[in-house]
Structure 1
Amino acid sequence: MQAQLGRPARGVIGIAARCACGNPTVVATAPRLDDGTPFPTFFYLTHPAATAAMSTLEAEHVMPELAALLDEDEEVRAAYQRAHEAFLEARAAYGDVPEIDGISAGGMPTRVKCLHALAGHALAAGPGVNPIGDAALERSSWSPVRCVCAEPGAARPEGRIG
């Protein structure tokens, strides 16, 4: 993960999703870091290609398009609310942090703020849980089922062969 992030990972409590080759894609992060800082982004996207793909979507202004789904589609809005609740429930299993009580990530449940966080949640929870995260992944150039870790320029965690 340090190779993927370019810095030491903080507060990692587990791998929430992996690349097809087994490298971490999403980590679960403690809701309170070792230094005491509250950390609401429980599912943190670490895979360089996935991160780049979400950055590209944000730069291409896909977020307003995805946010419009919340305004226009009652089913998407309800599913996004459920995704927010599922996120909070998953994080709550690792501690209660009053400063972030009721706060999930990525703008849930009413906005689309960070595709990285929403894609991370979608990858960790699986398809059908976070409709906006799923939509971002569908629109991206990256796929969780096709490994690009060994491509030139891709960050490789230490010890990874190939």
Structure 2
Amino acid sequence: MTRPPFAPVSQADIATVSAQLGRPARDVVGIAGRCVCGAPTVVATAPRLSDGTPFPTFYYLTHPAATAALSFLEATQVMNEYNQLLQDDDDLRARYLRAHQGFLEDRESIGVVPELAGISSGGMPERVKCLHALAAHSLAAGPGVNPIGDLALVRAAWTPTVCECLDYSSADA
């Protein structure tokens, strides 16, 4: 669990994230979650990219196995189930709203982007739109902060406690 302020990001971290994504990593301000082996799993990305683009998805899932597991879960239409839970459960809705508020606080501690005022990611606080973003927030903030991200991580065919990393050491070369 890593929240702002973040430790400095190493060149090895950037190389690993770039290898994970299959493209150059952009505007990484921190490694917000790591695999048990130490490889990045979640990055925190600047709320305004260097080209000036507002970027609301502060916590970004980079780990290929995690991304694949969340993509598979999304394909099962579980988001419909989670949206129904949000409609039916006042406590869950209140906890999801708090997750949204915490996400905004985390991102705004790095930078305030007026175009993103009140906008978090993953559909928070009113719906479930992207399990990748919600799981990334859960991995960064820790269990109990984002209830929908936590549900998705429990259900996904991936866990942060078992390393499924590729050898990214050649990414440093």
Residue matched to 1:79: 95
Residue matched to 2:71: 55
**Size of the alignment, in residue pairs?**
156
What do residues 63-93 of structure 1 show as CA deviations (whole Å, max 9, x unaligned)? 1011111011111000000000000000001
In structure 2, the gaps of 5 or more residues are 1-16
Give the aligned CA root-mean-square deviation in angstroms: 1.3
Residue matched to 1:15: 31
SS at 1:49 equivalent = helix
Residue matched to 2:168: 157
Residue matched to 1:136: 152
Matching of residue 43 in structure 1 with residue 54 in structure 2? no
Greater helix share, 1 or 2?
A: 2
CA distance in 2 between partners of 1:158 and 1:41 (Å): 27
Match for residue 115 of structure 2 among 99, 117, 132? 99
In structure 1, the gaps of 5 or more residues are none
CA distance in 2 between partners of 1:20 and 1:72 (Å): 36
- Asked if the contact 1:2/1:157 (under 8 Å) is kept, the reply is no
- Asked if the contact 1:58/1:115 (under 8 Å) is kept, the reply is yes
TM-score by length of 2: 0.88
Identity %: 67
Residue matched to 2:138: 122
Q: Which amino acid aligns with 2:156?
A: S
Which runs of structure 1 show a deviation greater than 6 angstroms over 4 or more consecutive aligned residues? none
- Asked if the contact 1:3/1:158 (under 8 Å) is kept, the reply is no
